[in-house]
Amino acid sequence: MGVFAILSSTMSKTLLNPFAAALGTPTVWSGFVGAASTIPGILVSLPASSLSDIYGRKKFLLVSGFVFASAPFLYLFISTWWQLILVRFYHGFATAIFIPVAEASMAEMYPSQRGERISLFTSATYVGRSIAPFLGGYILFSTASTSDPLYNYHVMYLAVAAAGLAAFIMALLFLAQRKPPVAAASRNRDNLRRMYAGWGALAKNRAVLAVSFVQASLYYSFGIVDYFLSGYLKDTLHFDFFSTAAVSGSIIVLALFVRAYMGRVSDRTGRRTPIIVGLLVCSAPLIMLPYTSDLRIILLLSLTYGFGFATATASTCPLMTELAPSQFVGTSTGFLDTMMDVGQTIGPIIGGFILGTTLGYVGLFLSPTLVLLSACLVFALSGAANRKNQLR
């Protein structure tokens, strides 16, 4: 399910920046187009994952599957840029629910191998992420000769719909193979009270907040790279669709192989070192991006960024689940994913404003570097990796 779901969602934004430009999106609003799909994560990731602690994971996976299947068809009816923002907002509910609930399932099933198993699940989703830029870029490249510029994107979003439907079918099959959860109606009030208590405990814990800041910073940088890199390569460096998608896809392709291995490493050696090393490694290449137009160098910089990003994120989720007691595993992954979406939402919005100033792309790619280095310092001083199960 993860492969098809993330293939669908990633392909929908592979070349979102050029699609927004083709619709005549004002520059100041371009960041909102990129951030619209991450706003639902701020709104529903934590409640959905917390409620899955109480009512089971299956219902929420089915809801997310329905959104994955239905949202892509709405792109076919878009004619103005503000409609794109609305469709992206709706589409964002799919990933916002799916990822934290699935991560909580992995953490519950493999308590002593959380780093490896969560990373293996994430690597499976990276298969979809890896295919998406190349498939989306190829579709746009092969249909670029048509006289209607929006036709190219409509063909791509039909492919997005096919992958989304496949994810929904997988959700139905998954649910059909499991018995429904034990009825909890008589305990609803106590369960909800416990859920709110879990939220409060997480929000007051310094170790949790340090890991959350790291996650938000990582996805602040990823939000900027994911949305603006394609526009920079295509519009400023004049790369073709396929070369642009290849550079963007290289980040995920490398992460596909790195993350599972680094998750296993963190199970054996601890979470602290991979997170600090990852933050340092993925901060450096971004400064150099605006100063080269060589495809080979840009590809190397993208691979370096992808390695650092995968190294750090392989440890953040398992560490978060270790900081929380077993009854709040879903709450902890939802809290972390909410912080992830905060970063990924703020990134494109701030990036859009920076891009509109005289700083241009130099300032745009410098911004995440400074944020990542700040997160590295905060995490190193917090001692978060040395404190586990603090929320009893």
Q: What's the CATH code of the domain at 156?
A: 1.20.1250.20
* Residue 270 token pair: 């601890």
392 found inside a domain: no
pLDDT at 375: 92
Structural domain boundaries enclosing 257? 2-179+187-386
Helix, strand, coil proportions of the chain in percent (round to 5)? 85, 0, 15
Could you tell me where the beta strands, DSSP code E, fall in the chain? none
- With contact defined as beta carbons under 8 Å apart, do 206 and 106 qualify? no
How far apart CA 282 and CA 271 sit, in angstroms, is 17
Gyration radius of the chain over CA positions: 20
- With contact defined as beta carbons under 8 Å apart, do 255 and 345 qualify? no
Structure confidence at residue 145 as a pLDDT band (50, 70, 90):
low
155 found inside a domain: yes
Structure confidence at residue 385 as a pLDDT band (50, 70, 90):
low
Structure confidence at residue 188 as a pLDDT band (50, 70, 90):
low
Q: How many domains is the chain partitioned into structurally?
A: 1
pLDDT at 161: 93
Token look-up 């077993």 returns 326
How far apart CA 66 and CA 230 sit, in angstroms, is 29
pLDDT at 374: 93
- With contact defined as beta carbons under 8 Å apart, do 343 and 311 qualify? no
76 found inside a domain: yes
| Per-residue pLDDT reduced to its tens digit, 153-175 | 888 889 999 999 999 998 888 76
pLDDT at 166: 94
| Per-residue pLDDT reduced to its tens digit, 293-306 | 888 898 899 889 98
